[in-house]
Amino acid sequence: MDLSYSKDELAFQNEVRSFLKEKLPQRMSERVRSGGELTKDDAEEWHAILNDKGWLAQNWPKAFGGAEWDAVQRHIYDEEAALADAPRIVPFGLSMLAPVLQKFGSKAQCDRWLPRILDGSDWWCQGYSEPGAGSDLASLRTAAVREGDHYIVNGQKTWTTLGQHANMIFCLVRTDKDVKQQEGISFLLIDMDTPGVEVRPIVLLDGGAEVNEVWFTDVKVPVENLVGEENKGWTYAKYLLTHERTNIAGVGFSNAGLEAVKRIAKAEMSGGKPLIENPHFAARIAQVEMELMALSLSNLRIVSKAAKGGAPGLEASMLKVKGSIIRQEINDLARRAVGPYALPFASEAIEGANEPPIGPDYAGPVAAQYFNNRKLSIFGGSNEVQREIIAKTTLGRMQ
């Protein structure tokens, strides 16, 4: 065991630092630092900058044009990117779909789709959840019926994050109703410009509209867009969930969030002194910071093990639960730190007024972020589902 960076790792850290210093546009880092949402153009521009450097597909094997970073390199990038207020990398194509294609897709599919993910030709979204299939994902009902060279898809997906920006969606669809639920699901790639696909935004409690409903009415999908074998989609979906969850703990986000809380708590006054000197508030910051220090090491340990062939399923669930709790706690601290200035509600939905918001700039987004990040313990398998996996795996292992 050795917690210090090796010479190579230090050199890599320097390289990441100077890259971010040179290439990260200031307006983007300012936007990230102030908690603002980035536009589609921003995301595409940042992806292109990373891609030029060969750092966009950090987890992909080199054979597919990836950087093939190990766990420590990814950790270093996440840490430096958070410190520099770099935008996050949109994960749907890069770290959700791509590993499935690389493992289960045909060569033709890899050749066709992977370069388009790298160069930004396609923006992917994920078609998993349905109104009746949340934590119980296998009960999904969106159906694909084979007719000649096509599947005809009918049904509805929901909670489709950034679907409004996407031109492609990877979907779990039902291709057999007469077998055990998990055995009748297929993994299908659908062009969202196909007639019969309709995207409707869902306004969330924070006022934003990052998620959507996606409706399919007699949508014709060529059979070559089936990934792997028909009715094996559940296996691929589980692979996607358990294999590529390297950032599931969200350590980088939490580090950046905690730094922001400290900045706010130094600026805000309480009883005539900076809030950060208030013993109760200082204790809450310290407690979550200690948890985050441990989580950061857990993340590194577990991801290093996974890279060496360990089974990350159970551990990924642990990282998900603890990581989401810590991020939510940090959001709560930020909300409290700004005091009454958490109250003004600047919704995207009611935007249009040109008045500057009341209160300090840093206060603007924190209440909305707090509400928005309640999602962290709900999506990707709710924390209760994760606890179920942890308990059943542990008790099962002992039998």
Partner 1 sequence: MNFELTEERQMLQDTLRRFLSDKYDVATRNSILESDAGMSADIWVQLAELGVLGALFSEDDGGFGGAGFDIAVVFEELGRAGVVEPILETCILGGGLISAFGNKSQKGILETVIGGGTRLALAHGEPRSRYDLSRVETVCRGGKLAGHKSMSLGAGNADHVIISARESGAVDDKEGLSLFLMKTSDLDLRATPVMGGGMAADIFLDGFAVTDDMRLGPKGGAFEALETVQAAAITAICAQTLGGMETAVRLTAEYLQTRKQFGKPIGTFQALQHRLSDMLIEMEQARSAVIGAAGYLEADPKQRDRHASAAKNLLGRIGRMIAEDAIQMHGGIAMTQEYELAHIAKRIVMADHMFGDTDHHLERFIALSAA
> CA 51 → CA 32, 44, 56, distances in Å?
20, 10, 5
Give me the least distance between CB of 220 and partner 1, in Å please.
Answer: 43
Residues 312-331 that bind partner 1 (CB under 8 A): 315, 318, 321-322
Q: Name residue 212's beta-bridge partners.
A: 160, 201
Smallest distance from the beta carbon of 219 to partner 1, in angstroms?
Answer: 39
For partner 1, the binding residue among 203, 269, 294, 343 (CB under 8 A) is 294
Q: Which of 244, 268, 315, 329 is catalytic?
A: 244
Q: Per rule CB under 8 A, is residue 309 in the interface with partner 1?
A: no
From candidates 181, 182, 231, 298, binder to partner 1 by CB under 8 A: 298
Whether 244 is a known active-site residue: answer: yes
Q: At what angle do helices 71-83 and 7-23 cross, to 10 degrees?
A: 40
d(CA 322, CA 334) in angstroms, rounded, equals 19
Is residue 143 within the footprint of partner 1 (CB under 8 A)?
no
The Cα 386–Cα 319 span in angstroms is 10
For residue 340, list its beta bridge partners. Answer: none
Interface region with partner 1, contact rule CB under 8 A, candidates 18-26, 152-160, 183-191, 385-393: 385-393
10 touching partner 1, by CB under 8 A: no
The stretches of 63-134 forming alpha helices (DSSP H) are 71-83, 91, 98-104, 107-118
Among 36-44, 94-102, 148-156, 298-306, the segment contacting partner 1 (CB under 8 A): 298-306
305 binds partner 1 (CB under 8 A): yes
83 near partner 1, rule: CB under 8 A: no
Residue in 96, 137, 295, 306 binding partner 1, rule: CB under 8 A: 295
Instruction: Tell me the angle at which helices 313-337 and 251-267 cross, rounded to the nearest 10 degrees.
Output: 10
Q: Give Cα separations from 36 to 39, 79, 112, 232 (angstroms).
A: 10, 20, 34, 40
Instruction: Decide if 344 contacts 361 (C-beta within 8 A).
Output: no
By CB under 8 A, the residues from 40 to 79 that bind partner 1 are 72
Residue 301 is a binding residue for partner 1 (CB under 8 A) = yes
Give the shortest CB-61-to-partner 1 separation in angstroms: 22
Does residue 304 bind partner 1 (CB under 8 A)?
A: yes
Separation of alpha carbons 325 and 308, rounded Å: 28
Encoded one letter per residue, x for contact with partner 1 by CB under 8 A and - for no contact, window 261-290 reads ------------------x--xx--xx-xx
Under 8 Å between Cβ of 100 and 236? yes
- Can residue 191 be called a binding residue for partner 1 (CB under 8 A)? no
Q: What's phi and psi for 273, nearest 5 deg?
A: -130, 160
* Closest C-alpha among 127, 121, 119, 52 to residue 92: 127
Give the tokens for residue 39: 């536009």
Strands 226-227 and 185-191: antiparallel
Q: Show Cβ contacts of residue 51 under 8 Å, excluding neighbours closer than 6 positions.
A: 118, 119, 120
Contact pick of 291, 371, 379, 380 for partner 1 (by CB under 8 A):
291
Q: Which stretch binds partner 1 (CB under 8 A): 18-26, 195-203, 252-260, 294-302?
A: 294-302
Segment contacting partner 1 (CB under 8 A): 4-12, 38-46, 132-140, 252-260? 4-12
Tell me if 245 contacts partner 1 by CB under 8 A. Answer: no
Residues that bind partner 1 (CB under 8 A): 1-6, 9, 72, 279, 282-283, 286-287, 289-291, 293-298, 300-301, 304-305, 315, 318, 321-322, 384, 386-388, 390-392, 394-395, 398-399
Active site residues: 244
